[in-house]
Amino acid sequence: MQLRPLLPVLGSTVRHRPRIVAAFGLSASALILTGAGAPGTDVRVTVTDLRSTKGLIQACLTPNPKHFPDCKGDSKAFALTVPAGEVVQLDFGHVPAGRYAIALLHDENGNGRADKALMLPREGFGFSRDAPLRMGPPTFASAAFEVGGEPVVQKIRMRYLL
């Protein structure tokens, strides 16, 4: 399932305009909501080195350093959840131009959260650009990449500590 950032649509202001203007406004709103016509491109990810095909792969793509790596409360984040498998391909679809970072979780037991033991993650994780770990998750800057006119293809290696 793919989630996209949503922009508010002011339906009450469209009701009182002539039909042709209202139709244009609705068409423009639809283009904005789907991302069609906006500068940017498709972002795809291949996930490698999964230790099992159990559970789910949860992915988060965010342009906001303050919301990396969990994307909680980020209205501009893109999130995907797909079943784990031998080969996992993620397709975020059309992403507006900008600087983004991706965080992945291999939720092996499917409980919707990152399980820990002694403060260490028990399940797999990965980051765009294979960003290095330093006493915790990488910084946004070390995982960030540019989205522009060319399609973006990332390869993210899943890592396990336990």
Q: Answer yes or no: do 23 and 101 share one domain.
A: no
Residue 3 has pLDDT above 70, yes or no: no
The answer for residues whose C-beta is within 8 angstroms of residue 120's C-beta and 6 or more apart is 161, 162
Same domain, 66 and 143: yes
Do 59 and 30 lie in one domain? The reply is no
Residue 162 within a domain = no
Predicted pLDDT of residue 36? 53
Looking at the structure, do residues 30 and 45 belong to the same domain, yes or no? no
- Same domain, residue pair 48 and 117: yes
Same domain, 68 and 50: yes
Same domain, 16 and 67: no
pLDDT at residue 8 tops 80 = no
What total of structural domains would you count in the chain?
Answer: 2
> Pick the residue with more confidence: 15 or 60?
60
86 and 60 share a domain? yes
Residue 71 lies in a domain: yes
Tell me if 96 is assigned to some domain. yes
Q: Are residues 25 and 76 in the same domain?
A: no
pLDDT exceeds 90 at position 28: no
Mean pLDDT of 98-119: 93
CA distance 62 to 27: 27
User: What percent of the chain has a predicted confidence (pLDDT) above 70?
Assistant: 77
- For the whole model, what pTM was predicted? 0.75
Same domain, 60 and 85: yes
- From residue 151, how far is each of 31, 32, 46, 85, 93 by CA, in Å? 19, 19, 14, 24, 10
Q: Give me the mean pLDDT over the 43-57 stretch.
A: 97
Element (H, E) at 88: strand 88-96
Mean of the pLDDT values across residues 145-153?
95
| Mean pLDDT within 34-57 | 88
How confident is residue 134, by pLDDT bands cut at 50, 70 and 90? confident
Domain boundaries, position 22:
2-34
Q: Give the pLDDT of residue 37.
A: 59
Residue 26 pLDDT exceeds 60: no
Letter for the amino acid at 116? Answer: K
More confident residue, 118 or 65: 65
Find the helix or strand (DSSP H, E) in which 83 lies: strand 78-83
